[in-house]
Amino acid sequence: MLAKYLFSTDHKVIGLLYGFTSQFFLLFGFALVLIIRWQLAYPSEPMPLVGGLFGEANAPGGVLLPDFYNQLGAMHGTIMVFLGVVPLAVGAFGNYLVPLQIGAPDMAFPRLNLLSYWFYFAGGVTMLASFFVPGGAAMSGWTSYAPLADFAPSGQTWWLVGMLLIIFSSLLGALNFIATIVQLRAPGMTWFRLPFFVWAQFITAFLLLLAFPALQAAAVLQAMDRLAGTSFFLPTGLFQAGLPIEAAGGGNALLWQHLFWFLGHPEVYVLILPAMGIVAEILANNTRKPLWGYRLMVYSIFVLGFLSFIVWAHHMFLTGMGTSISAFFQATTMIISIPSVIVLSSLALSLYGGSIRFNTPMLFALAFLPMFGLGGLTGLPLGLAATDIPLHDTNYVVGHFHYLVAPGTIFALFAGVYYWFPKITGRMLNEGLGKIHFVASLIAMNVIFFPMLIQGLAGVNRRLWDGGAIYSHAQPVVYLNVPMSVAAFALAAVQLVFLVNVVYSLVAGRVAGTNPWGSTTLEWATPTPPRAHGNFEHPPRAFRSPYEYSVPGVDGDFLPQGAGDERAPA
Amino acid sequence: MKPDLATMEIPYTTDIRPDTGLTNPKLGIWLFLASEVMLFGSLFSSYALLRSGAASWPHQADVLSVPLATLNTIILISSSGTMVMAWAALKSGSLARFRLYMGLTILGGAGFMVVKAFEYSDKFSHHLYPLTNNFLGLYFTLTGLHAIHVLVGMVVNLYFWGPGAAMWRTEPRRFTNRVEVAGLYWHFVDVVWIFLFPVLYLL
Amino acid sequence: MTDGAHDTTVEVRGYLAVLGALLLLTLITVGVSYLRLPEAPAVLVALTIALGKAALVAMFFMHLKSEKPMVFWPLGLTAVVFVALIAFALWTEADHLFGTRFTGAFGGVAP
């Protein structure tokens, strides 16, 4: 019975498997950061209730040791990005929705799809297991910078193996998405009739396909350094603990950074593009208007995707790699903000003149716009070498990318959950609980992340075990750690409201019907839930562009993409 | 052919989609190869960066055996040739000739691996290991990763030579397409070696 | 005979010609390497021959020659992205490769 779901090749079941697993990892990664936040607010005080669970080697008497703190930091980043947000945005939402929205019976390669999930699962288990190996999990930051990571305890090797599994999973998934979108579009579903969400997944898949292999190569090289004694990332003349290291030397520490960020920067857009796609769907639906500048947005994310491959070294200004190369990467970084702004502006302009419905998915989608905007604007100083150098590795950076990913991407993902839950389960999520969840999350997230910008501008480094308590320059802002941590725990508590809502609505939620939001795209033309293996009752066909809302002369205020000529205006 | 959704048939697994001109597996393998290009591309970039920044670099032909590598190049290129002829044999409807050429392809792969093993053991016997210097580190990493790709290709080819060929009786067109896809992978492995050979041995 | 079976004699003859060219180019590149040319021309010759061989394999054995544009788009993108990776990563070693030629490229002052 269980095996039927665990080994189903149906894209919807695999999407749900991705959804459950990735949300587990999101909660797990969040739990890690709660431990960190306790330590930052109350350095060297034993953590109440759970402090004894971490073991004497990690937290004697419930007080975190610096090495364990480093493990938590590195694994929080790794888990949130590679095991939480991306698998949820791409593996879950993409898998479930892309075949439905293009009118396909399934993904192009269903068995490859299942294999991709199990590689992801194996990668996740490897990462979790690494906490229990001698010396603990990886502790060299989520970026695993060499040469530090070359000398880290064995958890780092597990991290590398876990990453290789996750990368392989992503590659299989990415080629499957591209093949599906290219090959399995229903009759009439021309390129410019694709919903924006599908476009976003299409570009995302290319980023995964072409950027991830660089980290694959880097992981192989680092594994060779650690296991076979090579010196790919070890320069000549390196000392460790006062002694010269025993290695041939002649390596290049910047090589790791090049390869890592060649993946790392496109990865940022992998986090953001599906979120933009979800927000676009929900905005169009709840403004009851076509998207403003649909084609412009599509062209913009093409440019965005392409440029994301040539901005990576803006993460490396501090390395002293050279002024001319810095100048080049500053220029491309400034240029890439243009398509981002076009997409965000188009989404904002889409609101103009709409009769907006403020339901829970719409609230999350609306909050995405200013929150993502704030994340983007705080990134500008980091894209210019002169301002990046003092801000590098401070809490300002942490605040900046969390604004993009937490109240940005994760809000969009919540919006998506509220929006598509009725299609998946047949029941609506409760609006009242949803609005509580939204408002409380919005406030908590801003209380957590805005003070990070302030602390960072004051020069507080992002990786301090005591949150800056012993540094004189941090004294004026160190008090902010307490409200930030309180808000973090409050944010955790608020997620309980969401969990209660899911359970309650599954049992007693309002029955949804096939198209509760009055939506136009093809996924709403399926029965609820869509048919196992095949999705549609009748072979679907696309007759028009995806967002035909409020068409003059049409009964009702929307014209479904798959509705035949009988509903078109005379 | 109109997709029949009631039986969850996925369209264009064997038939060509008219507007894209491709079958799903054909597009899938090319996308996979694109990511492989980036994998080996990243490693070639690493080689270029490490070598251009190195204080000294051995004369590669003095450390490695150019004659053995030349022999291996000839073997692998020839196996690429027999691979494409195996596919052509299927297109002309002859399973027997397919078996012959596919068998030669697999033998070619095996011959390549034997020569490679001989090369490796020769290096080890002269106390040349990956940790000796970055050139040997890169040599073992790049050729090792390539050898893994050769092995995977041999397993796939062996499957189509043996049990996989049963499909020829039921779905000949689909089987021919599968061999084509396996061939694309095998030729790619050949192309990687075509670059590894001058970069590691000749320059 | 199965459906779609056709005579492939001409095709096979073409493959044999390509195979011959590949083996010949292999011998040429090995021969050139024994001349021990200076680094720059040696790299140029060896990589040009390798590119030629790869092109032959891709065009004929992988029959890209008769493939549809839908394959070229992702492959073209891959080529561009690969060149970007190798070129910009190497830029950090520009001092070793080109002296300090690049330091003034954007109006900076050479040390």
Residues of C in Cβ contact (< 8 Å) with A206:
74, 77
Looking at the DSSP bridge assignments, the partners of residue A243 are A240
**% of chain A exceeding 70 in pLDDT:** 99
C35 touches chain A (CB under 8 A): no
Convert the pLDDT of each residue in B67-103 to its tens digit: 999 999 999 999 999 999 999 999 999 999 999 999 9
Convert the pLDDT of each residue in A66-89 to its tens digit: 999 999 999 999 999 999 999 999
**B38 CB neighbour count, 10 Å cutoff:** 26
Please tell me which chains touch A, using 3 or more CB pairs under 8 Å as the contact test: B, C
Peptide bond before A370: cis, by omega within 30 degrees of 0?
Answer: no
At C108, which amino acid appears? G
Check whether A570 has a pLDDT greater than 60: no
Q: Is the dihedral of CA A523, A526, A530, A532 positive or negative?
A: negative
| Cβ pair A306:C106 closer than 8 A | no
Query: What is the predicted ipTM?
Result: 0.95
Average pLDDT over residues B154-163: 97
Provide the number of CB pairs (under 8 Å) joining chain A to chain B: 143
Q: Is the dihedral of CA B49, B51, B52, B55 positive or negative?
A: positive
Q: Could you give the C-alpha distances from A246 to A135, A161, A231, A238, in angstroms and in order?
A: 21, 25, 10, 9
Residues of C in Cβ contact (< 8 Å) with B30:
71, 74-75
Please tell me the distance from the alpha carbon of residue C21 to that of residue C15, in angstroms, as a whole number: 10
Check whether A178 has a pLDDT greater than 90: yes
Average pLDDT over residues A523-549: 91
| Cβ pair C96:B73 closer than 8 A | no
> Residue A321 is nearest to which of C78, C92, C103, comparing CB atoms?
C92
| Cβ pair B39:A236 closer than 8 A | no
What is the token pair recorded at A262? 């060649």
| Cβ pair B197:C58 closer than 8 A | no
Tallying the residues shown for chain C, one arrives at 111
The predicted pLDDT at position B1 comes to 39
Please tell me the distance from the alpha carbon of residue A208 to that of residue A189, in angstroms, as a whole number: 25
| Cβ pair A171:B32 closer than 8 A | yes
Residues of A in Cβ contact (< 8 Å) with C88:
258, 310, 312-313, 325, 328-329
Q: Is residue B202 very low, low, confident or very high in pLDDT (cuts 50, 70, 90)?
A: very high
Q: Is B17 helix (H, G, I), strand (E, B) or coil?
A: strand
Q: Is residue C100 very low, low, confident or very high in pLDDT (cuts 50, 70, 90)?
A: low
Looking at the DSSP bridge assignments, the partners of residue A278 are none
| Cβ pair A213:B39 closer than 8 A | yes
Please tell me the distance from the alpha carbon of residue A440 to that of residue C85, in angstroms, as a whole number: 43
Average pLDDT over residues A434-442: 98
Convert the pLDDT of each residue in A116-169 to its tens digit: 999 999 999 999 999 999 999 999 999 999 999 999 999 999 999 999 999 999
The predicted pLDDT at position B9 comes to 84
Average pLDDT, chain A: 95
Mutation to test the B interface, candidates A9, A222, A232, A541, most B Cβ within 10 Å? A232
Q: Is residue C98 very low, low, confident or very high in pLDDT (cuts 50, 70, 90)?
A: low
Q: What is the DSSP letter of B165?
A: G
Looking at the DSSP bridge assignments, the partners of residue A549 are A558
C91 touches chain A (CB under 8 A): yes
Query: Who has greater pLDDT, C7 or A330?
Result: A330
The predicted pLDDT at position C107 comes to 47
Asked whether B134 and A250 are in contact (CB, 8 A), the reply is yes
> Residue A108 is nearest to which of B8, B24, B132, comparing CB atoms?
B24
DSSP A46-89: PPTTTGGGG-TTT-GGGPPPHHHHHHHHHHHHHIIIIIIIHIII
Average pLDDT over residues A380-396: 95
Looking at the DSSP bridge assignments, the partners of residue A537 are none
What is the token pair recorded at B90? 């299927």
What is the token pair recorded at A512? 């949804």
Convert the pLDDT of each residue in C19-54 to its tens digit: 999 999 999 999 999 998 998 899 999 999 999 999
Question: String of b and e for A444-459 (b: at least 16 CB within 10 Å)?
Answer: bbbbbbbbbbebbbbb
Looking at the DSSP bridge assignments, the partners of residue B22 are B17
Phi, psi of A550 (to 5 degrees): 50, 45
Average pLDDT, chain C: 85
| Cβ pair B5:A216 closer than 8 A | no
What is the token pair recorded at A280? 């676009």
B2 touches chain A (CB under 8 A): yes
| Cβ pair C71:B22 closer than 8 A | yes
Please tell me the distance from the alpha carbon of residue A118 to that of residue A7, in angstroms, as a whole number: 9
The predicted pLDDT at position B5 comes to 44
Looking at the DSSP bridge assignments, the partners of residue A511 are A427
Average pLDDT over residues A421-449: 97
pTM across the whole model: 0.95
What is the token pair recorded at A346? 């188009």
Residues of A in Cβ contact (< 8 Å) with B14:
none
Q: Is residue A321 very low, low, confident or very high in pLDDT (cuts 50, 70, 90)?
A: confident
Convert the pLDDT of each residue in B36-66 to its tens digit: 999 999 999 999 999 988 888 999 999 999 9
Please tell me the distance from the alpha carbon of residue A493 to that of residue A443, in angstroms, as a whole number: 13
Residues of A in Cβ contact (< 8 Å) with B26:
none
The predicted pLDDT at position B4 comes to 45
